[in-house]
Amino acid sequence: MIFCVFSYNRGDFLKHCIETIERCAASAEIAVFDDNSDDENTRVVLADIAGRHRVYYTQESSTHKLGGLYGNIRAAVNAFPDAPALCLLQDDMQMVRPVSASELADIEACFSHNSRLAFIHPCFIKTTTNKKYRRALDYREHEGLYFRQGMGHGAGNFFSAVSILCPVRLRAAGWKFATSEPANDQRASQLFDNLAQLRNPFAMWLPEVPAYRGKIKTLALRLSERARGVGLYPFRVMSEEENQRFIGREAEVLPVAEDFLELVGEGPAKPWEYYPLQNKPWLKRLNGLELAARRLWARFS
């Protein structure tokens, strides 16, 4: 399995993400796809990583709210067209437990066992969505995977940008990435099985991280980040004993982040939140207004 990490202007987070992959999946290949970061610290981190792993820089610009994420995902699939599986992570994530080469091989084999499987989610479940998942996850013991059923409208039933995917399967199906999660979810629903969830996930988003929208730090984001005290709050990697206990639990015990993960040192209280504008409706509106004004200005300037 090849780990592809997508990066933009969060050098310390990227460094931490790569170090946890190196620690937890030492045999795995790693590649970084950077969205043309202009932050000096991030460029230094990228140069250091390039001494050990492949680093790609985006060849296309984007004003989409997620920057060039989908262009970089497309670049990752094109870079490794024959890989048995790619694990797509972002720089504000980390691996949280050791994963052996045999376990990674077993995950890759899931695609051979299910000809309609294309995307597997590798992350723990957020407490904020736990009730919804408890109703919607269907565990298939013969595959060792949960499958999402009836997660609601928009996205999350068939596709996730953070996922383990099979490039060969996507190419055989004539898959083309759209530029939004709902559009990709709709396309995936026509071609593939429901989005699978690892029984034993190994990655997670970090809580309370700084964010961008359209590669821009809007006024709303700056205000919210200051109020929330965003920063680098890493998870403690599970010990081997903790890892085996986690893997050996009953499948009915869902892998909820707050139930199994702990932060290193002091940090945000549980339940964790992952986006500065989460539960901030008026700031979300302000954020949307600024982005709309910027697009209008760019169109007529």
Mean pLDDT (10-residue bins), the chain, 301 residues = 96 98 96 95 98 88 58 94 97 98 96 96 85 78 90 75 96 92 93 96 97 83 92 97 97 95 94 88 88 84 74
Say which residue the tokens 């919804």 belong to: 132
Q: Are 146 and 139 in contact (CB under 8 A)?
A: yes
Please state the pTM of the whole predicted model: 0.91
Q: Which residues contact 218 (CB under 8 A, 6 or more apart)?
A: 286, 287, 290, 291
pLDDT at 129: 65
Q: Domains in the chain, ordered, with CATH?
A: 2-203 (3.90.550.10), 207-300 (no CATH)
Which of 225, 216, 230 lies closest to 283 in space, CA to CA? 225
Q: Which residues contact 118 (CB under 8 A, 6 or more apart)?
A: 111, 165, 166, 169, 170, 173, 175, 188, 191, 192, 193
- Asked whether the bond before 182 is cis by omega within 30 degrees of 0, the reply is no
pLDDT at 135: 72
Paired strand residues for 256: 125
pLDDT at 63: 45
